[in-house]
Amino acid sequence: MKQLSLLFMVLLVLGLSFSCSKKEEGEMPDTDRVLLQTNMGDILIQLNEEKAPISVENFKAYVKAGFYDGTIFHRITRPDEHGNGIAIIQAGGIDESFQPKAAIRNPIPNEAANGLSNVRGTIAYGRRQAPNSATSHFYINVTDNTGLDHNEDSFGYAVFGRVTEGMEVVDKIDALSTRPGTEIPERTVKIKKAKMVK
C-alpha cells in the first residue's frame, strides 16, 4: 500500500512539473522580430503582439512593404540642463532629403493603456496631438521616459516592443551632435533595410 502511495506521489509531481514547464513555454512565445540595418549598425527589436496587437500588425505591415528602407533617424531629443524633457531617437517617415513620406495605412487606435511603459530600450509610436493618429513614425527610448505613459493627464504613447540587441547603436545615434537650435542630427543616420526575422 505504501509503495502504491509513493508511486502515486511521484507521478503526481512529474505531472505537475510537466504542466508547469508547458505553461512557462506558453508565457514565452517565439515572437516576431524586426531588424533595422542602419549605416551605424544593426538594431534588433522584439515585438509584443500580446500587449499591442494593433500596433505590431501596423509596424509589420510597414516593414514588409519596405516603407522604412531609405528613411532616416530624423530627431534626437534630450533633457535640458535641469533634467526636464525626454531622451529618444525618432524615425519612420522622413527620407534622406528630409522630405516626409506619405503614410500607406490609416492611423491606428492608441494602445498606450496596454501596461507597457516607456522605459529605456522600448519602441513606441509617435503621433500628433490626437491620441489615435499614429501611422509610421516610431521612436526608441534612450532613457526611462515614463512621463510618456498612459495616465490621468495624457492618453500617452503606445509601446509595442523592445530592443533586444543593438542598444549600443541606439546610444551612438543618441550621442550625435544636432544642428544648432534643432533636434536634427548633423550626421545622416539611414535605415538601409528593415526586415522581419525570427
Residue spans of the domains in the chain: they are 1-28, 31-197
Q: What mean pLDDT is predicted for residues 162-166? A: 98
CATH of domain 31-197: 2.40.100.10
d(CA 51, CA 43): 21
Question: Which of these, 99, 153, 88, lies nearest to 124 by C-alpha position?
Answer: 88
d(CA 60, CA 32): 9
What's the chain's Rg over C-alpha atoms?
Answer: 21
Q: If you search the block for the grid coordinates 527620407, which residue do you land on?
A: 95
Give Cα 149 distance to the centre of its chain.
14
What lies within 8 Å, CB to CB, of 104 at 6+ separation is 62, 65, 67, 136
Above pLDDT 90, what percent of the chain? 80
Question: What is the tens place of the pLDDT at every residue in 102-161?
Answer: 999 999 999 999 999 999 999 999 999 999 999 999 999 999 999 999 999 999 999 999
Q: Hey, is 51 helix, strand or coil?
A: coil
Q: Give the predicted TM-score (pTM) of the model.
A: 0.84
Higher pLDDT, 2 or 121: 121
Question: What is the tens place of the pLDDT at every residue in 50-98?
Answer: 999 999 999 999 999 999 999 999 999 998 888 889 999 999 999 999 9
d(CA 193, CA 63): 9
Question: Which of these, 8, 69, 57, lies nearest to 192 by C-alpha position?
Answer: 69
Banded model confidence at residue 176, pLDDT cuts 50, 70, 90: very high
Do 184 and 75 touch, CB atoms closer than 8 A? Answer: yes
Among 13-17, 18-22, 31-35, 139-143, the range with the most confident prediction by mean pLDDT is 139-143
Banded model confidence at residue 30, pLDDT cuts 50, 70, 90: low
DSSP readout, 68-93? TTTEEEEEEE---TTS-S--EEEEEE
Do 139 and 89 touch, CB atoms closer than 8 A? Answer: yes
Question: Which of these, 154, 163, 152, lies nearest to 110 by C-alpha position?
Answer: 154
Grid cell in block for residue 69 = 528602407
d(CA 171, CA 174): 5
